[in-house]
Amino acid sequence: MSNINYRRRQFLQYTAFSALAAALPGLVLGERVLNNKPNSTFEADVEIDLIARLTEVAILPGKHTRVFQYHGNLIKGPQTALKTIPGYLGPIFSFQKGQKIRINFYNQLPDLCITHWHGLHVPQIMDGHPMYAISHGERYVYEFEIKNPAGTNWYHSHTHELTGAQVYQGLAGMIIISDDIEQKLELPSGEYDLPIIIQDRNFTHDNQLSFNLHRHDRMRGFLGNSILVNGQVNSSIPVKTRAYRLRIMNGSNARVYKLGWNDGTVITAIGTDGGLLAKPQNLPYVMLAPAERVELWIDFSGRKPGSELILQSLTYQGTHSAMERGNGSMRHGMSRMMGAMGGGFGQDEVIDIAKFQIHEQVGDSPKLPVELIPMRRLTERDVSQPGRTIPIAIGMQHMSFQLNDRTFVMQDYGESEKIPLNTIQRMKISHDSHMMGGGMHGGRGGMMGMMMSMPHPIHVHGQQFQVLSRRQSNSKKGYESVKDGFIDSGWKDTILVMPGEEVDIIKPFNDYTGLFPYHCHILEHEDMGMMRNFYVS
């Protein structure tokens, strides 16, 4: 992106602001609001300086890798609030429900940048909306109270048109929240509570991250050929013969994982994006799309020291990669094209994610609780405006993905995107039906076919939602290979919508007015404008 483009965009941004400033909270007439002063009445329990900067880290043997990194300094609060990890990722934050947090975010990158607390329920001005992006040398002060329950969330860059590139180069980290209800469960903690942040990357021959995206790569989303866990390759984790809690987060730009154990051990999920489940749920495998989190319980009791258990991404179809293999005349052309799109794994190959090496025998292990947390299931009866369903229609135009037939415009929202404060809304995420029937560019084949057969992880900022129902309209054969991997019983902020699938969700919009984005979390799609705002008032 050239500087000229930047300036022009900023200019447009300023202009748009003046028109809207009166209507929106947190905006000042004629200029971007830089929230650059701490509020003296806000008594922070935890205060952190967070600096986005350029640095070099050791990832592969040999030359160090240039990355963007969140560097954190704890200014106030318990030492456990901030934990630096090796590699390029930002520090892991550990907060308690009810704590007041101040984060002084400094941008020392050459480009604009802003940080979003993915999964946290915070006011608009603290949410890292891309309109708040700050320039090199500027500071943005975030102050918010932790309202979320215990769970695994994350933070990452949210700079318009640069989110993909900035997250790819390192701007992400995990946020762990705990609360009293969780504490009583005595789940595995300390060294038995492991963050597993999964990302895929491509490295050049001299160990640098490569992120050269052609148009087709952007359409498909970036797929890399190296899998990193917590910022490191060939992850192997020494464990003892007892139970562990794994906080698995997909921090990849576009790759969807089908997580399973290599020996067929059942997956036991205890949490989703929004926190713990009401009770543990067993599955053969679990699908994890970009931005989704899943917490697993895994008990290594009874395994022999010296043996290992591998967390893998298993094979599945139902995405464009399936089409590559099976679609007659398209087949060869598409394969060649996909091949040219950059040498990542397809999403239908077995990939080792992390090896758990059993290295020490220990006497006893905590037992998996039968019940976890109390959870109220929302139903149709909870919808505040019974006749209303808010659409989130996935569509495409001019080789770009859209939502509800529009692309992202910084402060723009339409009628269907206006939401009264303190309501509970039903939303329907679907694929634009007029796109499904074919017609354009040779029906379902070709580029259009490929694009319509992509899964999209749809994320809504603000409070977590629940899943009401899913429908698979045109029963694509590949769906069979993923359908048992969805956990619809917990709170979510991101949901994978498969090709031909329609998902109804129910979501509260409490406490905070203003603009809250919703978007596809394939970062290349978000950056091409597959994002819109809800305006809560």
Q: Which is nearer to Cu ion, 219 or 246 (CB)?
A: 219
CB of 14 to Cu ion, least distance (A): 25
Contact 472, 455 (CB under 8 A): no
3-class secondary structure for 263-326? Answer: CCCCEEEEEECCEEEEEEEEECCEEECCCCEEEEEEECCCCCCCCEEEEEECCCCCCHHHHHHH
Query: What tokens does 14 get?
Result: 């300023």
Residue 200's closest CA among 413, 42, 371, 353? Answer: 353
Is residue 507 near Cu ion by the rule CB under 5 A?
A: no
Q: Which stretch binds Cu ion (CB under 5 A): 13-21, 325-333, 408-416, 515-523?
A: 515-523
**Using CB under 5 A, which of 242, 461, 492, 519 touches Cu ion?**
461
Burial 472-482 (b: 16+ CB within 10 A, else e): beeebebbebb
Which stretch in 210-218, 429-437, 438-446, 516-524 sits in contact with ligand C2O by CB under 6 A? Answer: 516-524
> What's the min distance (Å) between Cβ of 57 and ligand C2O?
23
Cβ-in-10-Å burial (0-12, 13-18, 19+) of 494 comes to: buried
List 89, 496, 522, 536, residue binding Cu ion (CB under 5 A): 522
By CB under 6 A, residue 122 contacts ligand C2O: no
CB of 311 to Cu ion, least distance (A): 25
Which region, judged by CB under 6 A, interacts with ligand C2O, from 176-184, 311-319, 467-475, 513-521?
513-521
In the complex, minimum distance from the CB of residue 525 to ligand C2O, in angstroms, rounded to a whole number: 12
Does 525 bind Cu ion (CB under 5 A)? Our answer is yes
By the 8 A CB rule, do 423 and 385 touch?
Answer: yes
Q: Which does 520 bind (CB under 5 to 8 A by kind): ligand C2O, Cu ion, none?
A: Cu ion
Tell me which of ligand C2O, Cu ion, none is bound by residue 291, counting a contact when its beta carbon lies within the kind-specific cut-off of 5 to 8 angstroms.
ligand C2O
Nearer to ligand C2O, 254 or 298 (CB): 254
Whether the CB-CB separation of 287 and 479 falls below 8 Å is answered with no
Give whichever of 298 and 394 is closer to ligand C2O, judged by the CB atom. 394
CA within 13 Å, CB half, 270: 25
> Which x/- pattern, by CB under 6 A, does the window 433-462 give for ligand C2O?
--------------------------x-x-
User: Should residue 129 be labelled a site residue for ligand C2O when binding is judged by CB under 6 A?
Assistant: no
CA–CA separation, 358 and 241 (whole Å) = 7
Interaction residues for Cu ion, span 112-171 (CB under 5 A): 118
Residue 476 lies near ligand C2O (rule: CB under 6 A): no
The nearest distance, CB 177 to Cu ion, in angstroms, is 15
Is the CB of residue 244 less than 8 Å from the CB of residue 358? Answer: no
Residue with the shortest CB distance to ligand C2O: 118
Find the helix or strand (DSSP H, E) in which 427 lies.
strand 423-431
* Shortest distance in whole angstroms from residue 158 CB to ligand C2O: 5
517 binds, among Cu ion, ligand C2O, none (CB under 5 to 8 A by kind): ligand C2O
Q: CA-CA distance, 102 to 323, in Å (whole number)?
A: 48
CA 506 and chain centroid, separation: 19
Q: Binding residue for ligand C2O (CB under 6 A) from 245, 519, 525, 532?
A: 519
DSSP 181: H
Asked if residue 471 lies in contact with residue 424, where contact means CB atoms within 8 angstroms, the answer is: no
Residue closest to 117 by CA, chosen among 135, 105, 134: 105
Nearer to ligand C2O, 175 or 194 (CB): 175
Q: Which is nearer to ligand C2O, 291 or 390 (CB)?
A: 291
Q: What are φ and ψ of residue 266, in 5° steps?
A: -70, 150
Q: Indicate whether 355 belongs to the interface with ligand C2O (CB under 6 A).
A: no
State which of residues 46, 82, 96, 116 lies at the interface with ligand C2O (CB under 6 A): 116
Q: Which of 97, 102, 121, 158 binds ligand C2O (CB under 6 A)?
A: 158
Q: Which option in Cu ion, ligand C2O, none does residue 507 bind, with CB closer than 5 to 8 A by kind?
A: none
Region of 43-51, 324-332, 364-372, 517-525 interacting with ligand C2O (CB under 6 A): 517-525
β-pairing verdict for 100-107 and 456-460: unpaired
- Residues 6 or more apart from 394 whose CB is under 8 A from it? 401, 402, 403, 429, 430, 431, 432, 456, 458, 497, 520, 530
Taking Cα atoms as reference points, which of 71, 60, 33, 4 lies closest to residue 202? 60
Residue 117 C-beta: closest distance to ligand C2O, Å: 9
Q: Is 120 in the site for ligand C2O (CB under 6 A)?
A: no
Give which of Cu ion, ligand C2O, none residue 519 binds (C-beta under 5 to 8 Å, depending on kind). Answer: ligand C2O
- Asked if 507 is part of the footprint of ligand C2O (rule: CB under 6 A), the reply reads no
Strand partners, 341: none
**Binding interface with ligand C2O (CB under 6 A):** 116, 118, 156, 158, 291, 459, 461, 517, 519, 521
**Binding interface with Cu ion (CB under 5 A):** 118, 456, 461, 520, 522, 525
